[in-house]
Amino acid sequence: MEKFYITTAIDYVNGAPHIGHAYEKILTDIIARHYTQRCDDVYFLTGTDEHGIKIQKTAAAQGITPKELCDMNAQKFKDAWKALDIDYKKFIRTTDEDHEKIVQKIFDKLLKQGDIYKHSYEGLYCQGCECFLNPKDLTEDGLCPDHLKKPEVVKEENYFFKLTKYKDILIKYIKEHPDFIVPQFRANEVLNQLEDIQDISVSRAKSNVQWGIDVLSDSEQSIYVWIDALSNYITALGFDTENPSDTFKKYWPADVHVIGKDILKFHSIYWPAFLMALDLPLPKHIFAHGWITIDESKMSKSLGNVISPTSVLESFNLEHPDAFRYYMASSAPCGRDGNYSDDDFKEKVNAHLANSMGNLLNRTLSMLVKYFDGEVKPEFKGENPLAKKALGTVQIVKNHFDNFEIAEASLEIISLVDAANKYVQDNAPWTLAKEEKMIECGQVLTNVLDIMCIICALIYPYCPNITADMARQLSFNLKTKLDDLTADNIKTGKLISKEDIKPVFLRVDSELADKSQKK
C-alpha cells in the first residue's frame, strides 16, 4: 500500500460540535492511525462546511457577519479535535480562497460542457437538508423525515446538474462494486433512491441566498451547497480543472470517505456523478456510519441531551481522551447506531482498559521486578503458547479494518487481552515462584509481556496515550509496522525498575482518577 487517503464529512458550522461529530472524527482518526501501521503515507482530511442560508440566518440573528460566525465556530471544531487527539493532516474550510476559486472553475467547466443548465423550478425545499425534497419522501404529515419540519415551497430560476444522465452508469457501478458502499446493506437504499432520481439544483438565486460562492458567469446566482461542499475532497489536494497538483495526482482517488448515514445519498449519488462529469476516478469506498443516541434517545436540543465532545472528558476528569475514544469507537457494529450513557462508559472502560489490559501489564511487570529485579533472562525465552492466537489476532484486526469494522476489531483485541489474563491465571507464576520453579515463572511472565507488545500495537489507534505509556514500560517501539510484529518483542536484560512501573489507566471511578477527591 503506497498511500492511504481518508476523509471525514466536513461539519456545518451553524453551531458548536457535539458527540455525533466526535464519533465520526474518532472513527476516522482510528482508521487513519491503523493504516500508519501498514503504510508510510497516510493523508487524513477534515474540515468545515461554511456556506448556505442557515449560516446566513444564524449570523443575522446574532448580529454578526456570516464570516465571523464561521471563524468562531470553525475554531470550536478545531479545539474539540485537538482535545480528542484527532491527528488530521489538513483542515479545510470552504471559505478558504483557493477552495472557492476551484469550485468556481468546476462549476464553469460543467456548465460549458453541458452537464449544468439553467431552469425555472418550483419545489419543496428543506433548509435542514439544504436540498429539494421529493413529495413521496415526506412523512404522512408532509414533513422532512430527518428534520421533522415542513419544507417550504421555493420557486426560482436556478442552475441544474444533469444527474439523470449518470443514473444508469451509477447503478451499474454500484452493482459491479459491492464494496463501494460500506456496509453493503446501505447499497440497496442507494439503488432504490436512484430509481426515482431527478436532476438537482446546484445554485440558488442571490435574492434568497447571499452567503455562497458566486457563479462566475452569473452574478445573480450562488453556487449551491453540494458542489461546493463535496468538492472539498479534491480541492484540499490542489485539484484544478486545468493543471491538477502533484499532491492531487498522488492521493486521488480517496481510499475512503467516512460519513454519516444521513448524507449517504449525496456522497454515493451526487458526488460520484460530479466526478464522472469531471472524468475523475471514484473513491474506493464510502463508509456510512450510524448515529449516536444518548441514553437510548436521539440527540435533540429540545430534549436538552446534546453533549459536547469535551464535556465527557471534563465530567470524568480524564487527563487524556483515550477512554472516550475507545468507548465511542467500540459502541456500535459497522454502520449501525450506537448509544452513549455515563454508566455504560464507566463500566466498559473500567472493565476493558483498567481491569483487563492495564492490570495485566501492571501485575506482570510487578512480578518481574519482585522475582527477577525487572530482568528478562535468556533462559526465559522459548516457545510462546500465546503466539499463534496473538499473531492470528493481528491478521483478524487488519481484516476488520479493511472492512471498516472498528468496533469488531476492538473486541478481537480485548479477546486477546482476556486470553493473556487466562494464561496468567492458569499458569500462576506466583505459585511457580513459591515452588522455586524460577525459570518456568520467568517464562510465563516473558510470554505475557511479549504478547502485551502486540496488544499495545493493536490498541494504539484507539488509545494513543495509554499505549505510549505501555510502550515505554515494555521498551517497545510503537512505530513497528503490523506486518513486522512477532511474538518475540521483549529484549533480554534489565527491562524495568520498580519506580518506573505506573498504572497506564486508572479506573474512572477510583479515588486516584478523580481529581476532585485528590483535593
pLDDT at 515: 42
> What distances in angstroms separate CA 70 from CA 59, 205, 329, one per listed residue?
9, 22, 28
Residues 453/459/460/462 CA torsion (nearest 10 deg) = -170
The CATH fold assigned to 322-518 is Isoleucyl-tRNA Synthetase; Domain 1 (1.10.730)
Give the strand order in the sheet containing 203-205.
203-205, 218-223, 213-215
Taking residue 13's Cβ as centre, other Cβ atoms within 10 Å add up to 29
Residues 435/440/446/450 CA torsion (nearest 10 deg) = -130
pLDDT at 433: 97
Q: How far apart are CA 482 and CA 457, in angstroms?
A: 7
Of the candidates 31, 19, 482, 29, the residue with the CA atom closest to the CA atom of residue 285: 31
Ramachandran region, residue 106 (left: φ > 0; alpha: ψ -120 to 50; beta: rest) = alpha
* Partner residues linked to 120 by β-bridges: 157
Q: What CATH class does 4-294 carry?
A: alpha beta
Beta strands in 196-327 (DSSP E): 200-201, 203-205, 213-215, 218-223, 256-260, 286-289, 292-294
Phi, psi of 49 (to 5 degrees): -100, 120
Of the candidates 241, 207, 219, 239, the residue with the CA atom closest to the CA atom of residue 115: 241
Residues 395/401/406/409 CA torsion (nearest 10 deg) = 0
Furthest C-alpha separation in the chain: 90
Query: What is the distance, to the nearest Å, from the Cα of residue 474 to the centroid of all Cα atoms in its chain?
Result: 29
Question: Helices marked H in 252-315 — which ranges?
Answer: 264-265, 271-277, 311-315
Q: By the 8 A CB rule, do 175 and 188 touch?
A: no
Q: By the 8 A CB rule, do 99 and 92 touch?
A: yes
Question: Is 159 in a helix, a strand, or coil?
Answer: strand
Which cell is 379 given?
Answer: 533462559
- Residue at grid coordinates 460566525: 69
Domain ranges of the chain: 4-294, 322-518
Catalytic machinery residues: 18, 21, 126, 129, 144, 147, 298, 301
pLDDT at 304: 56
Residue-wise pLDDT tens for the chain (519 aa)? 799 999 999 999 998 899 999 999 999 999 999 999 999 999 999 999 999 999 999 999 999 999 999 999 999 999 999 999 999 999 999 999 999 999 999 999 999 999 999 988 787 888 777 777 888 778 888 888 877 888 888 878 899 999 999 999 999 999 999 999 999 999 999 999 999 899 999 999 998 889 999 999 998 999 988 999 999 999 999 999 999 999 999 999 999 999 999 999 999 999 999 999 999 999 999 999 999 988 766 655 555 556 888 888 998 889 899 999 999 999 999 999 999 989 999 999 999 999 999 999 999 999 999 999 999 999 999 999 999 999 999 999 999 999 999 999 999 999 999 999 999 999 999 999 999 999 999 999 999 999 999 999 999 999 999 999 999 999 999 999 999 999 999 999 999 999 999 999 988 875 444 444 333
Q: How far apart are CA 76 and CA 91, in angstroms?
A: 13
Of the candidates 321, 262, 293, 367, the residue with the CA atom closest to the CA atom of residue 466: 321
Q: How far apart are CA 256 and CA 285, in angstroms?
A: 5
